[in-house]
């Protein structure tokens, strides 16, 4: 069975294709969204999703979130003294989704189509693929999030040619993509974005506003207080969507602090973030050679597009109302499920050709003549420019710059800077050339980039026909099957808790957090119901557990209100 997975910065989802179209698979708690949060305790127990997020309130140093932002980097997260790479944490989220899908579908899930931000570079895409492999999933196909969204909207099934802009603002990443549909081809024309911009940043704006009004410094708060403040800021950010002001409350050193924040204040404080949104929109239009008036539809995806401050800004920017008919949190996962059905050659799905683009320019280092007889090295020569439709193959002819030159070196680089040193180094080839006057001998450098993010580099000496080839796989981020198996064995000490206990663990963690926050009679009341629930768990009576859990939940709901 092949499923579609949206591995998000804030939340992740899994979906599958049915006769009635794509459907989200609920997790073990019966919810569609699984928070992309992982916690590991001192005994090596792993918690994923809501349970892990609840643990953050009690054990901040045992929890990691927003690790998608660090995919493809060397960053390590330390949870309860144990070290993990971003893709290893992502693999735990994927494994949880895989288990939920297998229980729901009643059959093994062996393969997944995983979505990635359009602006993810080669390293980040390979790290995502590796996360899937560590979770026990075969990942032969990744789909860019805007393309998945377009597929979910059913644009692949339209008869009219359409140009549309997909605006994707998730929890931690931002993409803007321009796609064009003609006949049965869905082509990405241009992508731009920011891997470090998302809904989390809008929460931080609310948090800073509160601290400013309350005359508090974030550094003065303990780790637990910082987690509680962020949680309150998240609630206030969502609440201000429906009103012109919100009251944000926070308990600091046993004192209840309250501050009123108006929508106008919040909107002004978000101005810098909104300006960061504008630039990728302009860049993508320019790269596609289009104006806003050429765009037929604007689609919004990503949970952060629900924010009124974002939607108001976009209406002013696009001078039209975006299409919001689908749940922005679920759109990408549904599109990935459609792509999975296409991969399975399901008859119910109309076959469509999905094209993608190379998100970053690929080129090499060259020497340039800036005055007659004067040369400067270290310059960047683009070969496949960003937003080129892939698969693509381009050739550049390069000449010798010295008399009797015996070798030419081709350094493979990725980036947009004029200077080679500022771009990402991917590998290099050295080839022998016949001696001769400068400018007489030359090589043809051919870059071929495919939809699986594999770059083939061929260097051919024009005069002799001698050639060398290499495949750039991002070896520093590549793991063989043996290495993946070994790392899976190393991670085997981690204990994934039985999924049947998930709801009970979550209730106990929430109750423990609320007990710590409460005082006086409220604390005594909570203690009474927590003790009753723990006693029911020890007895193991299913009906007794359900009754005690429901009572504790009712008390907590009343206390939270």
* Catalytic center residues: 6, 68, 145, 168
DSSP-derived secondary structure for 226-267: HHHHHHHHHHHHHHGGGSSEEEEEEEETTEEEEEEEEHHHHH
Task: Report yes or no: 77 and 88 within 8 Å, Cβ to Cβ.
Answer: no
Rounded-to-integer distance, Cα 177 and Cα 166, Å: 5
Rounded-to-integer distance, Cα 15 and Cα 143, Å: 14
Q: Which two tokens mark 120?
A: 């993810």
Give residue for tokens 């030419």: 408
CB-facing half-sphere around the CA of 544: CA atoms within 13 A: 10
Q: Which residues contact 548 (CB under 8 A, 6 or more apart)?
A: 529, 532, 533, 535, 536, 537
Question: Most distant CA pair in the chain: distance in Å?
Answer: 92
DSSP-derived secondary structure for 351-388: P-EE-EEESS-EEEEEEEEEETTEEEEEEEEEEE-TTE
Give residue for tokens 């423990």: 512
| Helix-then-strand count for the chain, H and E | 14, 29
Q: Which residues contact 550 (CB under 8 A, 6 or more apart)?
A: none
Q: Which two tokens mark 357?
A: 């683009």
Choose among 410, 393, 396: nearest CA to 449. 393
Rounded-to-integer distance, Cα 175 and Cα 171, Å: 12
């Amino acid at each position: 069975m092949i499923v579609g997975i949206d591995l998000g910065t804030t939340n992740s989802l899994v979906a599958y294709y049915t006769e009635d179209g794509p459907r989200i698979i609920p997790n073990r708690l019966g919810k569609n969204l699984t928070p992309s949060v992982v916690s590991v305790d001192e005994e090596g127990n792993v918690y994923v999703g809501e349970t892990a997020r609840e643990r953050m309130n009690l054990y901040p140093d045992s929890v990691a979130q927003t690790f998608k932002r660090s995919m493809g980097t060397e960053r390590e997260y330390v949870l309860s003294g144990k070290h993990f790479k971003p893709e290893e944490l992502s693999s735990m989220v994927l494994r949880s989704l895989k288990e939920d899908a297998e229980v729901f579908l009643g059959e093994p899930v062996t393969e997944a189509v995983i979505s990635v931000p359009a602006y993810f570079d080669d390293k980040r895409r390979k790290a995502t693929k590796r996360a899937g492999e560590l979770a026990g999933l075969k990942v032969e196909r990744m789909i860019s999030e805007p393309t998945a969204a377009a597929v979910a909207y059913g644009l692949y099934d339209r008869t009219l040619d359409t140009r549309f802009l997909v605006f994707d603002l998730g929890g931690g990443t931002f993409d803007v993509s321009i796609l064009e549909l003609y006949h049965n081809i869905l082509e990405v024309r241009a992508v731009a974005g920011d891997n470090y911009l998302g809904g989390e940043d809008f929460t931080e704006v609310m948090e800073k506003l509160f601290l400013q009004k309350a005359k508090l410094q974030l550094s003065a708060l303990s780790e637990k207080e910082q987690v509680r403040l962020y949680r309150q800021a998240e609630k206030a950010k969502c609440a201000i969507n429906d009103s012109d002001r919100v009251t944000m409350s926070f308990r600091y050193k046993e004192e209840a602090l309250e501050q009123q924040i108006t929508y106008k204040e919040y909107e002004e404080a978000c101005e810098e973030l909104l300006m960061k949104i504008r630039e990728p929109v302009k860049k993508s239009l320019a790269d596609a050679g289009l104006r806003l008036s050429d765009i037929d539809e604007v689609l919004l995806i990503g949970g952060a597009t629900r924010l009124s401050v974002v939607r108001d800004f976009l209406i002013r920017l696009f001078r039209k109302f975006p299409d919001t008919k689908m749940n922005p949190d679920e759109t990408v996962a549904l599109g990935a499920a459609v792509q999975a059905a296409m991969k399975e050659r399901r008859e119910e799905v109309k076959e469509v050709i999905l094209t993608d683009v190379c998100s970053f320019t690929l080129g090499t280092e060259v020497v340039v003549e800036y005055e007659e007889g004067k040369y400067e090295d270290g310059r960047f020569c683009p070969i496949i420019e960003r937003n080129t439709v892939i698969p693509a193959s381009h050739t550049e002819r390069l000449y010798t710059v010295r008399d009797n030159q015996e070798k030419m070196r081709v350094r493979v680089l990725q980036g947009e800077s004029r200077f080679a040193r500022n771009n990402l180094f991917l590998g290099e080839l050295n080839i022998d050339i016949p001696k001769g006057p400068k400018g007489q001998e030359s090589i043809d450098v051919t870059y071929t980039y495919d939809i699986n993010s594999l770059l083939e580099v061929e260097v051919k000496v024009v005069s002799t026909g001698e050639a060398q080839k290499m495949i750039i796989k991002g070896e520093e981020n590549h793991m063989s099957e043996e290495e993946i198996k070994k790392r899976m064995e190393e991670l085997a000490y981690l204990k994934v808790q039985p999924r049947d206990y998930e709801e009970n663990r979550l209730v106990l963690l929430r109750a423990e957090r609320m007990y710590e926050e409460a005082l006086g009679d409220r604390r005594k009341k909570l203690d009474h119901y927590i003790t009753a629930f723990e006693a029911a768990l020890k007895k193991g009576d299913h009906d007794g557990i359900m009754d005690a859990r429901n009572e504790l939940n009712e008390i907590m709901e009343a206390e939270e209100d």
